[in-house]
Each structure stands twice: as C-alpha cells, then as structure tokens.
Amino acid sequence: MAAAEAETADALYNLRRSIKASATPILTTSASPTPADTVSDLALATHISLNTDDGEHRTFALGTPTRFAPDAQPIDLRSCYFAWLNKDASVTDYFAAVQTLNEELPSGAGGSVQNLTFAQKIELIAWLSGETEGSDSIAPVEGAALHTAAGDAAAIAGGRGVPLDGGRGVKHVAGGKMVDARLLQIYDGERKMGDHNSVLRGSKNVDFTPYRKIAASFLRSRPTDPSKPPLPTSLVSNLQKPSQQQKKRLFPIILLSPSASSLLRTSNAKTFLSDGVFTPPNTTDSSSTSASANMIQIQRLLPSISSQPLTFILVDSTSSFKPTYWSRVVGIFTTGQLWQFKSYKYTNPAELFAHYPGIFVGWSSEEPPETVKQLGRGVLPVGVDKWTGSEKGRWRDREVVERIWGRIEEGMRKGGWTRDGPGMAAQQGR
C-alpha cells in the first residue's frame, strides 16, 4: 500500500487532519451513518465520522486500536478522542471524567476508555494539534518508512545528502536516514520522562530480604533487659523470614441518597445507624459535625460476618468511584427518584436492586410513595416516628435500625463477605 493510501486509511491520522482543519467530528451508532444515527453522547457512540480538509468523510469504529502505543500498548480511538476533548482539563478533572465515562459505557456502547498519564496526554495532544510532527509513542504509518527511505536515497543520488560539515545542516544516522542537525541538537537536550513507578522505585523492584536478615541477627544478639518485656514472637518471626504481603482489607460501602428530601443524609446517618437515634438532617445538633462531609465512617458488629466490628464507608455520591468499588457496595438508600441511579453501575432499578439491597427511610405515619413501591421487593421500606424536637422517647428508632442492619447483613452473607472483603462470587456478580 502506498504511503498516501496508508495514511488515508489510518484512524489516528484522519483524527489529526480533522482537528487541524477545525472540523468537528460526528459521533454515530453506525459504520455507514445517516442523520438518524447521529448522537451527542460519547458513551452511546460506536463510530466516529471525521471530516478532513480534503472534504472527505471517513468513518472509523471508536474501538479501533491506533498507532499511539505508549509502553507498547495501542490506545483505542475512543480514548485518544476523549483525551483531546479534555485537553484543557486538569489532571483531577480528567481523571474524574474518565471514571464517569467508564461508568456510562457498560449501559451504552460498551467498552471502556483508558486513563492516560499526564505525560502521555500532553504528547498525544501536541501531535494531534500539529505542534509536533513526530512522537516516540506513535508508530509510523505502514508504508511511510519505505517512502521516506526512497526519498533519502533519491536525495543522496542527486547530491543533496551531504554531510554536516558540507554546510547544508544534514547529518546521516543509523540506517542511512538523513536528519536535520538542529533537530539532533534539540533531541540531545531532551530529558527522558518516566512514570511514577520508575521515579519512586527505579527500573526494578527492590528486594529487602537481606536487610530483614541483618535486622533479625541484631535483635537476636542484643542482651535482654529484664525491666523490659521480650519482643512478641510474631514480630521476631516476621523479621527472621519475610512474610508474604498482607492482603489489603476492603471496607464495605453504603450509598446514601443525595436527594435533599431524604430523611437520612451524611449529617445524621452516623447517629442513626450507630446510636439508634434519629434526628432530622437539618437540625443544628446533627449538622454541626458532618454537614459539609460527603463521606463518613461507622463501625458495626455483624456476628455472621466477623467476630470483630466492621468499618463501613458511607457516601452520597459516586463521582470518585472506581469500577472495582461496586463489588464493595452492600446497601443503597433511596427516595425512589430515578435520577439518583443515573451514574450508578446499573441504571435500571430492577437490575440495580437485584444486586444490592435497597432501603427507603420514611415517616412511620405515612405510606411509602408510589415511586418507592414501583422499585419492587428489592427495596426495604422502613418508617421512623416524626421528630418532635427532642431525642427523648425515640426507642422505636433502634428497632428500625436493627431491621436495616439485618437486611444489609443478609446481603453481605449471600455475597460471601468476610472481615477482609467480599467473596469472589460477589466480585464477579457485581
């Protein structure tokens, strides 16, 4: 294939031409798009139609691997285009945008978008915008290398390929290719950037086993002070022989409703679920400590799961969720408003509450709203007595709290939860 034809068929090259021509790409759901196939949401699109400066419309699948391959791993077209859309976003905003899109893709077009590092994103955007003409992470178009070699050979045959000291500023490098001398000087001044692994840990992991043995020998030979207790046996054994890396403990997560009409918010959830006393979220006592926090921690003993109290994380937003966090969700509080589930892993309530226990907290003197009843048996409705301005006489609150924890414990038991985290069945099923 000729170099020009190879570039015409290349998705990354056409994306660059479209960007340089200031032609807005069109997201579609078809390889042969019609106006009816056009969408505006990247999570729903499967193809992208690129308008280039030659007036042609070329359509590519968003899952197409591109020539941009940092660390020898090709990045798909959707990830490259999404990085360009977020070229002006900060590192934090870009990371949050990637998480949000990855939560929407499974229920949309499918697949996922890759989070590029800061250096990779800068390198890709510079090439797409035309600021740079080459990149170490972008492989040449198939056939372009042969085309360049033929051009160099013709230049040498015509007498134009003279050495640097000939006054033309051209230098020969390995393979007979000619490179501008000024460009080589720029390359010599570049500093190679590494990722966080190479910066913090070097090119390979450090084995501290010899140092453990040295420390153990000092501890064994040190005289024993009768006034001080001996070292624990477990500590000495850990120093004498390296132990395996302990598995990180995963805390279960409970999602609270972000609705302003919810009776249970981060400001009063701790006193309710830990102490068994309900106070409205807008009262002074309950809002003075954690009204501004969107994450709290509480402890609860669930005998069928662990003999020691478990730490639960309560949040009212999934904006910082990683896809793996959903295997740790053990309960979802809701008011029945469907917009709450828009950013969840499952946006369909029937499917959502088939995987996670749902709880609705309302007033005991009122029937649950129809929106809650329509969610099905996956949601447990409970009612608390109306607030009278005092915590006295609220002994029924503890009974309601026990029902809620019973529902959560039942779901965790079915998911194979232990003190260290969810079972494999729960991780695979969710």
Q: pTM of the predicted model, to two decimals?
A: 0.44
Query: DSSP letter at 326?
Result: G
pLDDT of 308 above 80: yes
Higher pLDDT, 238 or 383: 383
**Radius of gyration (C-alpha) of the chain in whole angstroms:** 30
Query: Which domains can be identified in the chain, with CATH numbers?
Result: 3-128 (no CATH), 253-429 (3.40.50.11990)
Q: What was the pLDDT predicted at 424? A: 60
Q: What was the pLDDT predicted at 166? A: 41
**What b-and-e string marks burial along 16-53, b requiring 16 or more CB atoms within 10 Å of the CB?**
bbbbeeeeebbbbbeeebeeebebeebbebbbbbbbbe
Q: What was the pLDDT predicted at 153? A: 44
Q: What was the pLDDT predicted at 227? A: 58
pLDDT of 162 above 60: no
How far is residue 239's CA from residue 359's CA, in Å, rounded to a whole number?
48
DSSP string, 67-79: SB-GGG-PPBHHH
How far is residue 89's CA from residue 201's CA, in Å, rounded to a whole number?
29
Q: Report residue 139's pLDDT band, with 50, 70 and 90 as the boundaries.
A: confident
In this prediction, residues 306-323 reach a mean pLDDT of 90
Query: Do 344 and 430 contact (CB within 8 A), yes or no?
Result: no
Q: What distance, in Å, lies between the first and last C-alpha atoms of the chain? A: 46
Mean pLDDT of the chain: 79
Q: What was the pLDDT predicted at 383? A: 93
Instruction: Report the amino acid identity of residue 39.
Output: V
> Hey, what are 353's tokens?
């509450």
Q: What was the pLDDT predicted at 82? A: 94
Query: Do 300 and 310 contact (CB within 8 A), yes or no?
Result: yes
How far is residue 15's CA from residue 309's CA, in Å, rounded to a whole number?
54
Residue 18 three-state SS:
helix
Query: Do 252 and 412 contact (CB within 8 A), yes or no?
Result: yes
Residue 268: count of CB within 10 angstroms of its CB: 23
> Hey, what are 352's tokens?
């959502």
In this prediction, residues 61-86 reach a mean pLDDT of 91
